[in-house]
Amino acid sequence: MKQKRIVYLTFYFRPDLCAGSFRNTPLLEELAKIAKKTNMIVDVYTTLPNRYSTYNVEAPEFEQVENVNIYRIKLPDHKSEMIDQVKSFWHYFQNVTRMNKGKLADLVFASSSRLFTAYLGARLATSLKAPLYLDIRDIFVDSIKDVLQSKFLRFGLLPLLTVFEKRTFSRAQHINLISPGFTDYFIKYPRPHYSVFTNGIDEEFLTRDIHEKPYVNSDGKVDIVYAGNIGEGQGLHKIIPQAAIQLGNQFQFTVIGDGGAKNLLKMEIARLGLENVLIKEPVKRTELIKAYNRASYLFLHLNDYDAFKKVLPSKIFELATFDKPIIAGVGGFSASFISKEVPQSFVFPPCDVKKLVNYLQNGTDVKGKIDRIDFISKYKRSVISQEMAKSIIGYIK
């Protein structure tokens, strides 16, 4: 009996630090368990850690673990600018295509946020004559309309990207949407079957030391901690400096991460002469957990773009495991999800400095135990990954 083969595409994978890596690593583990029982192999095509230029960690270019082969492609040195990202993806695209030339596959799975990994999946599925299962983590065409400032780029790129999107999504047998807010957008692609397996809570956040911590740190400041990407999509440069100057030195914002808009944030901090905003480099999750435990508040923010009203940030799921109040500057589906599902959270419109400052000035004395047991039980990553893996395997004849 011929051994069946699954091609698994994800631009980010362990030990990289980003939502794509945190989602795909446990999902692969569950998929591999099921595949092993039926004599299947899974070939993972990903990249060497590259999410942040300021975070360096070693990983082998090839790794074999039982029935899983992991191929990590080395990318050219790059930063977070769009041209660098295009070059990096093209390098990934060429190498994955070359490495699969002349091979057979029974299923192509692609997890994609920027459309291009999904497009690569569609190309491979066609050449390998295999079913295509897509995991869509962002609506790239929708987002690019808001993020691109140049009208020339916007009107030049959008028609081309729309063609890529149509070819990609129309080729899929199944599309998983990471946010229920995406559903209306995909009505125009009726061919695939759909599911909604969201992000979830990783094991590291469930097994950590959860001793009570004071809401005000040792130097007496109220510390508002943000950790993650610092890009145009997060819009931190439009909210944190402006709030920090009004709140004064009794309050401190700690920003942990990197990204394409980091310099914009630094420039605004320098322009306002702020001393109560700290920017730190990305850290491993063990260190991140310590930073969350020391925080007074945990902070989440998305820029005021229409596209982001559909998303459901993965960061929500890790923040909600801490007994800390959450402050979220989000709109649309994210706002309603947090308000409904996450107790002891304050949701305000994106970039609304006045509402953020007013809340912090009047709500810093948080009393009582924060109970999010129901949320944690409902959104464990392990359970979500198990169900999604079963769905993926179901497309292999």
Looking at residue 80, what is its pLDDT? Answer: 55
Helix (H, G, I), strand (E, B) or coil at 282: coil
- What's the chain's average pLDDT? 91
Question: In this structure, what token pair is assigned to residue 245?
Answer: 């100057």
Looking at residue 58, what is its pLDDT? Answer: 80
Sign of CA dihedral 97, 169, 43, 138: positive
List the chain domain ranges. Answer: 4-200+380-393, 204-378
CA 265/CA 145 separation, integer angstroms: 22
Residue type, 247: L
Q: Are 222 and 397 in contact (CB under 8 A)?
A: no
pLDDT category, 129, cuts 50, 70, 90? Answer: very high
CATH of domain 204-378: 3.40.50.2000
Question: In this structure, what token pair is assigned to residue 182?
Answer: 């995406």
H or E element that contains 96: helix 82-99
pLDDT category, 207, cuts 50, 70, 90? Answer: confident
Q: Which of 94, 174, 234, 226 is nearest to 396 (CA)?
A: 174
CATH of domain 4-200+380-393: 3.40.50.2000
Question: In this structure, what token pair is assigned to residue 230?
Answer: 């610092």
Query: Residues with Cβ < 8 Å from 190, sequence gap 6 or more?
Result: none
**Residues 228-278: tens digit of each pLDDT:** 999 999 999 999 999 999 999 999 999 999 998 999 999 999 999 999 999
